[in-house]
């Protein structure tokens, strides 16, 4: 556990490269159950479990990249293909005993709650991104899903290995309404978590395509916008459907999907009685006067 901030970004990267990531206890239990029926389990079944846990997905992708065969001439960018490349039996052999998030943060209950919220947000972002990719007839929906799922791994890892520092950043932001999260993180941790995210995925040598899909500088690419907008929406709606950032999210998603705001809100599951329903109305509409 880190209790004091490092002086530079690279020190965080090197530290997080050296530790073994935990996974959700539920993931470990489900994988053990699948292992008990190993001879009848498919790569798709295992992938379904892995895709419920961004930390497990990250562990798998890192392992595949670090053990890449010299004869492999293309990147593996989806979870199911990664398991097929590795093989079911070698997968269970490599990931048989895994530490869990719940054990890691047993003495940090508030941090456990914090990391579970971020993991839930990541899974929700992956769901949104997958749905929109299907709507757009994307060339590979699974790639979009993985990129959205992994988009929050830096924050998840910070909750797991530097819980006190992350909580200090949130406390500072609460004490200073209007302060940007990146500014609070730099003040308490010495870095901004989005910067750590990009540094980590490059340090782990994730496939270049997945890195591109997570890159906020590449928003000219509609596949990248799908991932980033899904993550934005998941983060904002976690605060409630009255979050002030949601109107801009809905409009941007509408532009991406060529869909009006009302249909966007319906598609992403805005409750019928939510106050945010009025954001789709134009100022001139009778109901808004």
Taking 80 as the threshold, does the pLDDT of residue 189 lie above it?
yes
Q: Which residue has the tokens 């980590």?
A: 200
pLDDT of residue 275: 56
61 has a pLDDT exceeding 80: yes
CATH of domain 102-275: 1.10.3210.10
Distance CA 158, CA 141 (A): 28
Predicted local confidence at residue 287, as pLDDT: 36
Percent of the chain with pLDDT over 90: 88
219's tokens: 């928003």
Give the model's pLDDT for residue 155: 97
Contact 102, 139 (CB under 8 A): no
pLDDT at residue 284 in the model = 40
Q: What's residue 279's pLDDT?
A: 52
Sequence-distant (≥ 6) Cβ neighbours of residue 74 within 8 angstroms: none
Numbered ranges of CATH 1.10.3210.10 in the chain: 102-275
**Average pLDDT for the chain:** 92
Confidence check: pLDDT of 68 > 90: no
Q: Give the pLDDT of residue 74.
A: 85
Distance separating alpha carbons of residues 219 and 147, to the nearest angstrom: 14
pLDDT range class, residue 71, cuts 50, 70, 90: confident
Judged by DSSP in three states, 220 sits in coil
- The CA-based diameter of the chain, rounded to the nearest angstrom, is 67
- Each residue of 221-257: pLDDT tens digit? 999 999 999 999 999 999 999 999 999 999 999 999 9
- Contacts with 45 (C-beta within 8 Å, 6 or more apart), sequence order: 34
Instruction: Summarize the confidence of residues 107-124 as an average pLDDT.
Output: 97
Residues whose CB is less than 8 angstroms from the CB of residue 222 and which lie 6 or more positions away in sequence, other chains included? 136, 256
CB-CB contact of 51 with 57 (8 Å): yes
């Amino acid at each position: 556990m880190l209790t004091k901030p490092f002086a530079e970004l690279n020190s965080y990267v090197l530290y997080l490269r050296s530790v073994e990531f935990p996974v959700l206890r539920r993931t470990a239990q489900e994988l053990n159950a699948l292992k008990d029926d190993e001879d009848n389990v498919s790569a798709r079944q295992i992938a379904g479990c892995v895709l419920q846990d961004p930390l497990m997905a990250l562990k798998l992708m890192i392992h595949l990249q670090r053990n890449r065969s010299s004869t492999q001439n293309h990147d593996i960018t989806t979870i199911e293909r990664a398991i097929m490349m590795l093989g079911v039996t070698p997968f269970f052999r490599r990931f048989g005993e895994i530490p869990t998030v719940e054990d890691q943060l047993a003495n940090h209950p508030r941090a456990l709650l914090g990391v579970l919220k971020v993991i839930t947000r990541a899974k929700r972002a992956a769901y949104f991104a997958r749905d929109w990719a299907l709507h757009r007839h994307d060339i590979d929906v699974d790639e979009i899903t993985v990129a959205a799922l992994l988009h929050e791994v830096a924050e998840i890892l910070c909750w797991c290995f530097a819980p006190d520092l992350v909580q200090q950043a949130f406390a500072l932001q609460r004490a200073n309404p209007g302060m940007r999260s990146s500014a609070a993180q730099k003040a308490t941790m010495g870095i901004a978590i989005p910067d750590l995210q990009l540094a980590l995925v490059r340090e782990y040598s994730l496939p270049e395509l997945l890195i591109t899909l997570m890159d906020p500088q590449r928003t000219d690419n509609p596949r990248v916008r799908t991932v980033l907008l899904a993550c934005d929406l998941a983060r904002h709606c976690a605060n409630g459907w009255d979050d002030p950032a949601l109107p801009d999210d809905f409009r941007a998603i509408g532009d991406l999907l060529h869909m009006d705001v009302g249909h966007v809100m319906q598609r992403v599951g805005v409750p019928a009685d939510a106050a945010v329903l009025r954001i789709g109305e134009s100022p001139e509409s009778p109901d808004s006067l």
